[in-house]
Amino acid sequence: MSKRNQFVTAVLSLIVACGTQFVHAQDSTKTFVPVLNYTADLVVNTRGGIKTGTVYQGYGEAGVLINPWRNGQFNFSIATTHGGGPTRTLVGDWQEMDNKEATNHIFALNAWYRHTIGKVALQAGLQDANDSYATCDVSDPLQNTAFGGIASFMSGGNVPTMPTNGLGVNVEWQFSDAFMWQTGVFDGGVIGLDEGNRFNLKHKLSRSKGYLLVSEGQLMPPEALVLKAGAYYHTGLENYGFYATCEKTFSLQGERAVGAFVTGGYSPHATDAADASITGGCTLTSLFSKSGADVLSAGLATVHYEGFKWETAIELNYHYSLSDQFYVSPDVQWIINPACGLIKRNALACTLRLGFEL
């Protein structure tokens, strides 16, 4: 085993051991909360795309949440991605069909502090801007990256996100139970892992590379309806745009529920980025179980780049929780016009995802 692998193994073991010990020792306050998860994807591209074939894609994360006092929280974590890369080697779609894919690296993921004073919360440090902005809870089970973040915003804003989280400051105002507004400033020039930032430790704010300015309002009235609308501007690329999401959950008998979502984004003058994107879909919780352990999800995501065709992904996913820690999630995606038409053959990709979450 190499010295680097020995060091990483030791760090992971220490985080898990210390975190677990402190949680058991101080269960009432949970001053230290361990974070440990791993996702294993077996992806088969059955037709079209770049080529047919099978690859393995893995993603692991380890860290600790520290709650030293009532209104403050630290988050420290590292992550690893490894495997064949189904998007870059098999399918070739620009929306990225596997939301856990990146090149083979071990890297810093989070190092931020969050403090709450009354109805205002401030979070600063190394973080994922997509954890706060352009999110949609109903679409979470779907595995295409497009369902985790609005494509026009993610590319046009050069958003720091996994695997290259970036420095930023975000402020939230919880005006009432039904309305929240947030605004943030993030590094808009994070260096890629394959571009000289191997461990995601090289962060230098630069006016020439620019900053991402983003603001979003969230309306959460009764009846499990969530409306979000945001705007962004990248000072370096001089890209700006708007996005909105709507999601609603309908409770049925027992734990059974139906969810629906739609999102959209538009950038009037996108530079080397998507100028429009739309997603929509629905979910059914407790299709076979009575405890809410399974979710059937279907979604459609489409993105447009000026001068190219619309790329569209149609996805069907089933997520089943085997226990509180383990789950299995088979997934099928039909990709139309991969790489917005640069790849001529539509792709049909199937994924079997096995996951562990502590």
* 219-234 per-position pLDDT tens digit: 998 778 999 999 999 9
Q: Which of 245, 209, 205, 241 is nearest to 225 (CA)?
A: 245
What is the rounded average pLDDT of the residues 251-257?
Answer: 91
Per the structure, the complete domain to which residue 338 belongs is given by 3-357
Q: Give 21's contacts (C-beta < 8 A, 6+ positions apart).
A: none
- Asked if residue 326 lies in contact with residue 9, where contact means CB atoms within 8 angstroms, the answer is no
In three-state secondary structure terms, 11 is: helix
Q: What's the whole-number average pLDDT of the chain?
A: 92
In three-state secondary structure terms, 227 is: strand
Distance CA 51, CA 203 (A): 36
**Exposed e or buried b per residue across 116-126, where buried means at least 16 C-beta atoms within 10 angstroms of its C-beta:** eeeeebebbbb
Number of domains composing the chain = 1
pLDDT band for position 331 (cuts 50, 70, 90): very high
State residue 30's pLDDT score. Answer: 85
23: domain CATH number is 2.40.160.180
Q: Indicate if the pLDDT at residue 72 is higher than 50.
A: yes
- Asked if residue 267 lies in contact with residue 273, where contact means CB atoms within 8 angstroms, the answer is yes
Q: Indicate if the pLDDT at residue 25 is higher than 90.
A: no
- Asked if residue 261 lies in contact with residue 245, where contact means CB atoms within 8 angstroms, the answer is yes
Show the CA angle centred on residue 219, arms to residues 188 and 263, nearest 5°.
60
State residue 271's pLDDT score. Answer: 83
Hey, CA dihedral for 156, 161, 165, 166, is it positive or negative? positive
